[in-house]
Structure 1
Amino acid sequence: MTSRSALRPAPLAAALALILSPTLAAAAAPDADAPASGAAPTTQLATIEVTGKVDYRYVQKTTLTATRTDTDLLDVPQAVTVITQDLIRDLGIQGMADAVRYVPGISVTQGEGNRDGLVFRGNSSTADLFVDGLRDDTQYYRDTYNIERIEAFKGPNAMIFGRGSPGGLLNRVTKVPGADPAREIGLQIGSWNKRRLTADLNQPLNDRAAFRVSGVYEDSDGFRDGFELRRKGLNPTLSLRPTDATVVTLGYEVFRDERTADRGIPSLSAAQAFDGTRYPVSTDRETFFGDPQGSPASVDVNAFTALIEHDFGGAFLRNRFRYADYDKFYQNVFPGNVNAAGTTVALSAYNNDTRRENAFNQTDLTFDLATGPIEHRFLIGAEIGRQETSNERRSGRFAPGQSVCLPGSSASTCLVALSDPNVRLSVDYANNSAGGSGDARNAGVTRFAALYAQDQITLSPEWEAVLGVRWDRFDVDFTDQRNGVSPANRDLSSSDDLFSPRVGLVYQPADQLSFYASYGVTYLPRSGEQLASLTPGTQALDPEEFKNYEIGAKWDITPRLSATAAAFRLGRSNVAVVDPIDPTQMILFAGDSQRTEGLELSLSGEITPTWQVVASYTYQDAVITRDIRTGPTSVTPEGTELAQSPKHMAGLWNRFELSERWGLGLGAIYRSRSFASTSDQVTLRSYSRFDGAVYYAVNENVDLQLNVENLFDKTYFPSAHSDSNITPGAPRSYYLSARFAF
């Protein structure tokens, strides 16, 4: 497919080339093996050959994931933000919550203190996370030790990624072997006994093979009393080029995360509301509510990946396979309601054990065709997958006679003093409900198969269209293994045929500027425990449906500075809610019930050679669009704001190069007022937080970095899980890092 720049004069690019030609002459000298000017472009197998890439620091110019073809971001009719490796390093990003700090349209949730939780354009999710384009939906905290960059895609993405991800998703792109030797060791120490070691070693074996291994080990505490974190990971990867046209990349990751499950602090009771509004209780940020020693969380991940790429000359084949085994357990003693007098808080407890095996295979074939003056880049693909999951949840029962449990406590609730809520408790998690089989005990198998096709059409030098459709067959078999469950409700199943279209139109009046409009649909089928709680006779409820309308603009102000703008409207329908007659069941509210409208702006890149910047702003109006009964006497009214979806979010990060050795970073984030849940009763106040960093290059092989978070020691609440589980932000924190290259 002929590139747009070949079809249109590029005066700005030409001017820049003339200005910069003395500098670029040596770096851009033609390779003796390169094709002559005017030769037909060839597909690049870039898995091993990573040399020669331009370093744009905070700017990513192309994407393979958004369309499954190597496409300029200017030509993608969708809002996309890329967190580059330089930004990951400068900000000290080590998890997904840190990664989205300056990303428009995405906020974070608490995730019950045991998993990544994100809100994409008003839609909360713990499952819309991918790695190298394949689903990684088990609920745990992910690390960045083996990650090259993180891609944030906004709006429905079903055409490319399949079910779910209604408001967006995060895709982690892993590090792969390169052609040049590289070895790096990273050390970090800091506040709250932070101790972290990372390693990234790349070694070409010969001109046909390269090996890379990344690793992490961390042993840290946290600002919350009793919090501990231990994690370790190892990810070796091997790339082979058996022929000039074929690359095979094999990888295996072993990862373990152990931590204290921290559910945060409760809110004031309704009796203590101020002007009808409730806020988090007033307490030290360090105060842990519950039993930190009795709240362990752990996950073990073993994942094998295989990528095969082959260039047929006129077509390109890519096959990805991922098998992952997850073993996750968490247990928590956590806060609930505060009494009317504001003197006691109710503690509850439960644990949860989940095993999951994922096996996914994804095959893509891309090729170019021309029909007269119109050029096509076709993608034809198929994906199959199987997920086998077992889960058991058990409520905790508090041993009687414990001195910390105040009068009024029960076997399921321990009342403790609000002034002293960090307690050590004796809790029995034996199967004590539903005839001795726990609150939930089930097993399920999910199978899906998908076919999809996409056409990227170059209609003229200025116009391009992206048309695609995906068909998914989604089957779920679910077994409720609790004792006492009737045979009719023990084995349940659901099947869905999902058709997900994608339509986009791009207008590019100049090489550096594009405007786009897009429409997409995605579905979220019923699955897992939701099947067991549906009102009898409605097991085959239609899946939830999400429709996204978006218009936007993308502008490469310079080759190293990019700006984007997007206006969107995202609607949600067919939502399942609690049956007002029987709270153990769910019913369907057909039709539209939720809407998010908004505007996203971003700027990233180089203002001057010594000033790098990342800036973002989001305005969103995320509301429920109809009255929804959630109980015999309760109604969630039309106009209710969606949880943790502030109307305004802004971020600005700057890195200044003071000299060849010294650099300075300064950033700020702002979040307007939001609500902890869709009750809209508990308010999380607006806040601004400032961060800083100092960078010092000792020599070519040693870099030092000091990151200071929350420079002015602001008290704030960045996330929540419910009205009684709210996370305080960390006090001022210092982290000193050293990187050694050899």
Structure 2
Amino acid sequence: MTISDRRRSSASRQTQGFLALSCVGSIGLAAPLLAQAAPPATPEKGTELEGVTVTDTAITEGSYKTESASNPKYTAPLINTPRTVTVIPAQVIHDTASATLQEALRTVPGITMGAGEGGNPLGDRPFIRGFDSQASTYLDGVRDIGAQTREVFAVEQIEVVKGADSVVGGRGSAGGSLNLVSKMPTATRSASASLTGGNANYKRITVDVNQPLNDFVGVRIAGMWHDQDVAGRDAIWQKRWGVEPSVKLGLNGPTSATLSFYHLETNELPDSGIPYLFTAANVPNGITETSPARNFTTIGGRQVSVPQGAFYGLKDRDFRKTNVNNATLRFEHDFGNNIKIRNTSRYGRSTQGYVWTQPDDQQGNVYGTNAASPATAGGYVWRRTNTRWSEAEGLINQSDVYGTFETAGIKHSFTASAEISYEKAQNGTYVADAGTGAVIASGSTSTPRCTPAMIARYNCTTIDTPNPSDPWVSYATDTTTGLASIQRSLPQTWTITDTSTKAASFFDTVTFTDWLLLNIGGRYDHYKTSVSPGIAVTAAPSTARTTFGREDDLWTYQAGLIVKPTPDTSVYVSTSSSATPPGSFLAQGQDGNAIATTTQAATDALKVEKTKSYEVGAKANLFDGNLSLTGALFKTDTSNARTTVENGLVAYIGKRKIKGVEIGFNGNITPEWNIFGGYTYMDSKIADGGITTTTNTTTGAVAFAPSVNTGKQFPNTPKHSFTTFTNYKITPKFTLGGGAIYMAKVYGGYSDTRVLSNTGVLSITKPLARMVQAYWRFDANASYQLTDRIGLQLNVNNLTDKRYYDKAYAAHYANQAAGRTVLGTVNLRY
């Protein structure tokens, strides 16, 4: 299938998706059930067992405050939970006009988004307290696998847990985890629809209909259609549609069964970002940091100004498509004596495919490497192709028994869980010829990259005047004129990864007195994983795959002591752990401890990376419980991190440390005034990054020196971050609000050029850190309720049209954020 065929096929599916959502809307209108996406309908408050909510999360309409997390493994309300947990409620998602998980997470300090490329796929890559949490995202308490960009049209709230958290969800979660809570049927009839339009051709429709058919059966359907360009960025566009129908039998209990199906399909021209100005090979003396190219003079003396909209991708080549499907069945039963049981089964499958331009790939064409040669004097960008095709699927079953009991005057709020899961991922690439595995011809065989021939083939473009409509042609090679269609690589070349988990856990909040509580939890995982590398296209048909695998037994824990000076305050001290075994990312992210694919001996030598977190904090509910204030001091240590040592050997001596302060606030100061946000300070350090080996190519002598990473700040970990979002109801119908975000400097990665002289002198020259500068961003919003059923909303995101970068990759490029985006929404409710 050619690229144009794929685009036509995608356009057809987009049309089908729009028609499907039109049908959803027609059903809702015929009911007649039209409503708003905000303020959201209020689900029924769950049954409380001695302070812990064990069914639907309690959500107050119009409030920025949430009392408890939805996962029963959190066995106490948030004020009595001895760790930092931030819940982003539906009202905040609505008021900030967030459409994706990434947009919603911008409201929480201490979280940055990482960029992707080929080996680390495009998609959601949140860093929590300095650690990649791409593989630590959960949906309704169950792991959500596969690299993807998540939507929020079917999300009730988002729960962010900070600190080592393997005890709750299993492997990984070294810095924390995310849990998305789905919209499910409730006994309260409601319906809503939102129609949004804005600059950059922004168009979005969402529908949410919740209809109890009788006292026993309830149905709910949420749907979304989205189409937009990106403000301030040339050529880029995004299209997607999704739907989530669900039905609940036993709407009012005590026994119920809920069946839901989630489908999301996306199609976009992905952003290729802005290349860093310098590389370690061409950085001028005295410069130790490089940021994305903007206003500079090339090595050849040309003045360059990179426009805000500069896009280095190609409309005739680049694409990204994802397809996500999740089917979930949940049984629940209330035994009537403060004990409940639930069982959740989910089958999930997601696919992602893209051909995407990565600008320049550290080739030095931006600044230049040789002023005397036009091809190397700077001012160019090489359009390297990054390609990936992946499929991830998983089957998981999780049982939870939870409730309360009392012994000898001591109260217990507990949860016991058992889990079994199987996950599989297949990863391949796109090639110019599937039969030979030839790479897409993009100038990679040309040295230097940006010769006149490569410029003529549009494999290179100017840094300041790129044209995404360049008539690029897919040739078979860089030097021939034969054409080649871009195809998915053959199945035999794919890498196949399998993972299975058997786990059991127990959690308990022990109330000794009204002022003294103990929170404990422990988990055991038997984790088994294997990797089978692909076979070359030229291999004989009888060639068998080789599989490398290992098994690990993981023990993790949490413990916290809570003292309550008053019923609405708490002071706590806690500790928790995480375990990140080899292969934790299931080949769906940047796994720092990937399974070795050379020898089984190397695989057996791998170690589990271990992280411990310590936290001291205080929480208070003010103004009759409407406003929550939290504060914490935290420290996280990681050991057994995989590093490279002498002669390129792998060792497990890496250490990372982070400590900091976190302050949070959310809720209502007055009935008219709500606020949400916080501040995070993170002091991070790579305590031991291993050893770098340098070889003299003339004499063959070698020298060893500490890695350039040792002593450096964590990548994707700003020292300071601050967010605040607030709304004030000026009149009963008119609300005015806004938000501010501050992000300190963020590093993407580090490198240097080491030279060993013939006399044995080692010099570490031109160390270079890649980073993006600190920034402030401001948003504004207003809403007016015309009638009880019709409301108008205006959002202006990035009010000052700030030019900033919200993702810093380890090398190559940084992602430039969207410019000023103005959105107008009509909210309908019933």
> Given the two structures, how large is their TM-score scaled by the length of structure 1?
0.87
1:260 and 1:552, CA in 2 relative to 1: closer, same or farther beyond 3 A?
same
Matches within 5 A, 1:421-432: 421-423=466-468, 424=470, 425-427=472-474
Q: Is residue 2:674 matched to residue 1:612?
A: yes
Q: Is the Cα–Cα contact under 8 Å of residues 383 and 442 in structure 2 kept in the other structure?
A: no
Cα distance in structure 2, aligned partners of 1:552 and 1:445:
40
Cα distance in structure 2, aligned partners of 1:298 and 1:489:
29
Give the Å deviation of 1:463.
0.9
Segments of 5+ residues of structure 1 without an aligned counterpart are: 1-33
Aligned to 2:340: 316
Cα distance in structure 2, aligned partners of 1:361 and 1:250:
14
Q: Is residue 2:236 matched to residue 1:236?
A: no
Q: Is the Cα–Cα contact under 8 Å of residues 512 and 556 in structure 1 kept in the other structure?
A: yes
Aligned to 2:267: 258
Give the Å deviation of 1:485.
8.6
Aligned to 1:14: none
Aligned to 1:63: 69
Matches within 5 A, 1:349-360: 349-360=385-396
Matches within 5 A, 1:10-409: 46=55, 54-55=60-61, 57-65=63-71, 67-69=73-75, 71-112=76-117, 114-223=122-231, 224-241=233-250, 244-270=253-279, 271=282, 275-282=287-294, 283-314=306-337, 315-335=339-359, 336-337=361-362, 338-339=364-365, 340=368, 341-394=377-430, 396-398=439-441, 406-407=451-452
Aligned to 1:550: 615
Aligned to 1:447: 500
Give the Å deviation of 1:642.
1.3
Q: Is the Cα–Cα contact under 8 Å of residues 398 and 410 in structure 1 kept in the other structure?
A: no
Q: Is the Cα–Cα contact under 8 Å of residues 114 and 807 in structure 2 kept in the other structure?
A: yes
- CA deviation string 1:455-486 (max 9, x = no partner): 22112211111122111011112211222899
Q: Is the Cα–Cα contact under 8 Å of residues 596 and 602 in structure 2 kept in the other structure?
A: no
Q: Is the Cα–Cα contact under 8 Å of residues 194 and 221 in structure 1 kept in the other structure?
A: yes
1:53 and 1:641, CA in 2 relative to 1: closer, same or farther beyond 3 A?
closer
Q: Is residue 2:639 matched to residue 1:573?
A: yes
1:534 and 1:685, CA in 2 relative to 1: closer, same or farther beyond 3 A?
farther
The size of the alignment, in residue pairs, is: 696
1:111 and 1:557, CA in 2 relative to 1: closer, same or farther beyond 3 A?
farther
Cα distance in structure 2, aligned partners of 1:40 and 1:98:
34
Aligned to 1:681: 769
- Let me know the Cα RMSD of the aligned residues: 3.2
- CA deviation string 1:418-467 (max 9, x = no partner): 233345433469999xxx96996211221110011222211221111112
| Corresponding letter in the other structure for 2:262 | E
Q: Is the Cα–Cα contact under 8 Å of residues 183 and 201 in structure 1 kept in the other structure?
A: yes
Q: Is residue 2:557 matched to residue 1:519?
A: no
Please say which of residues 536-545 and 418-427 is displaced more in the overlay: 418-427
Q: Is the Cα–Cα contact under 8 Å of residues 398 and 412 in structure 1 kept in the other structure?
A: no
- CA deviation string 1:303-327 (max 9, x = no partner): 1111111112232111111111112
Aligned to 1:472: 525
Give the Å deviation of 1:74.
0.9
- CA deviation string 1:376-433 (max 9, x = no partner): 223221000001211113564326799x95348599994432233345433469999x
Please say which of residues 518-527 and 194-203 is displaced more in the overlay: 518-527
Q: Is the Cα–Cα contact under 8 Å of residues 54 and 72 in structure 2 kept in the other structure?
A: no
Q: Is residue 2:666 matched to residue 1:600?
A: no
Give the Å deviation of 1:162.
0.7
Cα distance in structure 2, aligned partners of 1:83 and 1:689:
19
Cα distance in structure 1, aligned partners of 2:710 and 2:545:
34
SS at match of 2:103: helix
Q: Is the Cα–Cα contact under 8 Å of residues 260 and 297 in structure 1 kept in the other structure?
A: yes
Please say which of residues 669-678 and 412-421 is displaced more in the overlay: 412-421
Matches within 5 A, 1:494-509: 494-509=550-565
Cα distance in structure 1, aligned partners of 2:73 and 2:321:
35
Cα distance in structure 2, aligned partners of 1:179 and 1:693:
32
Cα distance in structure 2, aligned partners of 1:597 and 1:629:
25
1:688 and 1:475, CA in 2 relative to 1: closer, same or farther beyond 3 A?
same
* 1:589 alignment partner, one of 637, 652, 664: 652
* 2:826 alignment partner, one of 730, 738, 742: 738
- CA deviation string 1:283-334 (max 9, x = no partner): 1221112324422111111111111111122321111111111122111122
Segments of 5+ residues of structure 2 without an aligned counterpart are: 1-45, 295-305, 369-376, 432-438, 478-483, 588-593, 696-704, 752-767
SS at match of 1:718: strand
Q: Is the Cα–Cα contact under 8 Å of residues 239 and 250 in structure 1 kept in the other structure?
A: yes
Cα distance in structure 1, aligned partners of 2:493 and 2:694:
25
Give the Å deviation of 1:350.
3.0
Cα distance in structure 1, aligned partners of 2:206 and 2:405:
46
Higher strand share: 1
Give the Å deviation of 1:130.
0.9
- CA deviation string 1:53-109 (max 9, x = no partner): 64461000122327254x211111110001111111100111122112221321222
Give the Å deviation of 1:491.
1.2
Cα distance in structure 1, aligned partners of 2:532 and 2:651:
22
1:55 and 1:566, CA in 2 relative to 1: closer, same or farther beyond 3 A?
same
Q: Is the Cα–Cα contact under 8 Å of residues 309 and 317 in structure 1 kept in the other structure?
A: yes
SS at match of 1:149: strand
Give the Å deviation of 1:279.
1.8
Matches within 5 A, 1:586-665: 587-590=650-653, 592-629=654-691, 632=694, 635-665=707-737
* 1:416 alignment partner, one of 440, 449, 461: 461
Q: Is the Cα–Cα contact under 8 Å of residues 394 and 439 in structure 1 kept in the other structure?
A: no
Q: Is the Cα–Cα contact under 8 Å of residues 656 and 687 in structure 2 kept in the other structure?
A: yes
1:728 and 1:474, CA in 2 relative to 1: closer, same or farther beyond 3 A?
same
SS at match of 1:519: strand
Give the Å deviation of 1:167.
0.4
Cα distance in structure 2, aligned partners of 1:308 and 1:500:
28
1:413 and 1:149, CA in 2 relative to 1: closer, same or farther beyond 3 A?
same
SS at match of 2:418: strand
1:302 and 1:471, CA in 2 relative to 1: closer, same or farther beyond 3 A?
same
SS at match of 1:111: coil
1:507 and 1:496, CA in 2 relative to 1: closer, same or farther beyond 3 A?
same
1:45 and 1:151, CA in 2 relative to 1: closer, same or farther beyond 3 A?
closer
Cα distance in structure 2, aligned partners of 1:438 and 1:286:
38
Give the Å deviation of 1:45.
7.4
